[in-house]
Amino acid sequence: MKHLKKYSLLFGILLTILINILSINFFHRLDMTEDKRYSISNPTKELMRKLPEQLSVTIYLDGDMNTGFLQLKRAVAELLDELSVYAAHNLQYHYCNPTTLTGIEQERLYEEFENLGIHPTVIHERNSEGKAVQRMLFPWAKISIGNRSETICLLKNIRGLSGEENLNISIENLEFAFTDATRLLCQTEITKIAFIEGHGELSEYHTWDISRALSRYFQIDRGQLNNDPSILSPYKAIIIASPREKFTEQDKFIIDQYIMNGGRVLWLLDGVRLDENSLSTTGISPTIPMDLNLTDMLFRYGVRINPMIIQDEQCLMVPVNVATEGTTPQFQPMPWYFAPLLLTSPNHSISRNIAQVSGSFVSCIDLVGDDTRIQKDILLASSNATHLISAPAAINVEEFEITENYFNIAHVPVGVALEGLFESVFAHRMIPEGIINTQNIRKESRLTKQIVLASGSFIGNEIENGQPLPVGYDRYSQTQFGNRDLLVNSLLYLTDDEGWINLRNKELTIRLLNKNISRTNKHLIQLINVVLPLICLALFGCIFLFVRRWKYTR
């Protein structure tokens, strides 16, 4: 019996040692939640394992806050705790409440916030006594490696969504936000993209805002095409922003061969040409199809931009003088049906969880062809109350009669993502004259991506008092729409070979209390949560004492 006990003890010690060895060499974490809310992706794990230096995170979301912000704060801490496991002590984070600082220290921090673009969120709520209180929170984080740093906005605030929905979207976006900033700090190679010029495209001044946003990720060049197919080889993606003049066959061949060799293109093309100045001053303008000599090219790739203009009941408002002639001007907001607020698809990483996108004189897109090698995903569409005007036509604002069935079309596509293998538009054509270096001409592409948006207005920023405004900003309503997010995500998607952009597809289920039921059954719920555990504990104690007494009194 003694030998058995000795061997049992030895076996237990050996088993414990073996388990510790296995736990060190075969590390694993198990997430038992249904939506895997505590799991992080494999690329994120590898990124954390390969951190070149100490990663420091300062979280400014701290202090006295409501339940929603506490939940966001807890989600940030849980994510950073998970990331630190794989970072091997190369990640540290701490909290800083700016509102508790005083004097020069607070002034310096607020000055730093201004330079970094960090702005507070003001919360209006009632305290436990029912009094209205105002709190200032900073839902931001700063992530640093060495002397380099990036800021992260932790709170997504999408117009039209409830507070709970915005909170859930913010939590869903945390992993992408932190890995995106970390990759920027760790990157050693700069990716190049280019704006194509020479066809009346939007100028650098009218694409200033999106260029500034994209410069965080890319080196941005601008230039015209020549007769060498290799001119675009250094660039991961190119942007064709609202051209007004025809593309020559040489230009088309250069772009086509760029795509065939794996290049990526963001097309922003208008389907209709009109005079906006004449329309704004006289209320009248003719419309004609926009002939850019690209129809055959896009058709071969799987899309067609129709020579039509969308009118949408879901649109921007503009001030209109409703006073009679000779009296004091009196402006009232009126719907401008030619400036639709477009719906973003929740099923694609580019357009998921971004605000509506504003446009002006937007055309529509048809998906054509049956090539199964090309995946086509709709990114943008009109609302369920849309009307189409086909060109050529004359637009006269005063003659529009909005009848009951005027907006009789729903969800017209205006933005599409294409991914797959594309056939060259020159596969069965002669190479245009003047092209040099024709040795490696391809008739079918490598696996690549394209995005087609049926309006150049999505990318152009307005100018006010000589200064460019943010892209997608409406001056009248002072509302920022989702244009910038759409375009930045589009370029990240086009240049992404590792699937980082797919982190934006993370989905967490909102589990909210039914306020009516919880209010009606308030006392019953309190009784179940407070008294029932005590009853169960007392019952267990009685059973335990009974079993113990029965065991020792036999």
Cα separation, 374 vs 223, in Å, equals 29
Decide: residue 78, CB within 10 A, 0-12 exposed, 13-18 middle, 19+ buried. middle
Place of tokens 């991914």: 419
Cα separation, 86 vs 50, in Å, equals 9
| Nearest C-alpha neighbor of 511 from the set 153, 167, 73 | 167
Quick check: helix, strand or coil at residue 414? Answer: strand
Mean pLDDT of 109-126: 83
209 within 8 A of 236, measured Cβ to Cβ: no
- Residues with Cβ within 8 Å of 35's Cβ and at least 6 positions away in sequence, in order, are 507, 508, 509
Ramachandran bin of 293, using left for φ above 0, alpha for ψ from -120 to 50, beta for the remaining angles: left
CA 327 to chain centre: 47
Cα separation, 479 vs 463, in Å, equals 16
pLDDT category of residue 473 using cuts at 50, 70 and 90: very high
Q: What CATH number was assigned to the domain covering residues 37-185?
A: 3.40.30
Q: Is the pLDDT of residue 49 over 70?
A: yes
Domain pair 37-185 / 189-505, same fold: no
pLDDT digits (tens, 9 = 90+) for 519-546: 777 778 778 888 888 888 888 888 888 8
Peptide bond into 392 cis (omega under 30): yes
Q: What value does the mean pLDDT of the chain take?
A: 88
* Top-confidence residue, 553 or 279: 279
Full strand arrangement of the beta sheet holding 140-145: 91-95, 55-59, 140-145, 148-153
123 within 8 A of 139, measured Cβ to Cβ: no
Which range in 3-12, 243-252, 497-506, 542-551 is most confidently predicted, on average pLDDT?
A: 243-252
Place of tokens 């709709």: 378
Which residue type sits at 240? I
Given CATH 3.40.50, say whether it is the number of domain 189-505.
yes
Quick check: helix, strand or coil at residue 208? Answer: helix
pLDDT digits (tens, 9 = 90+) for 316-325: 998 877 677 7
Mean pLDDT of 129-155: 86
- The model carries a pTM of 0.86
Which range in 91-95, 254-258, 389-393, 504-508 is most confidently predicted, on average pLDDT?
A: 254-258
Taking every pair of C-alpha atoms in the chain, what is the biggest distance, in angstroms?
Answer: 114
Phi, psi of 87 (to 5 degrees): -85, -5
Least confident window among 128-137, 305-314, 455-464: 128-137
Domain ranges of the chain: 37-185, 189-505
Residue 515: predicted pLDDT: 66
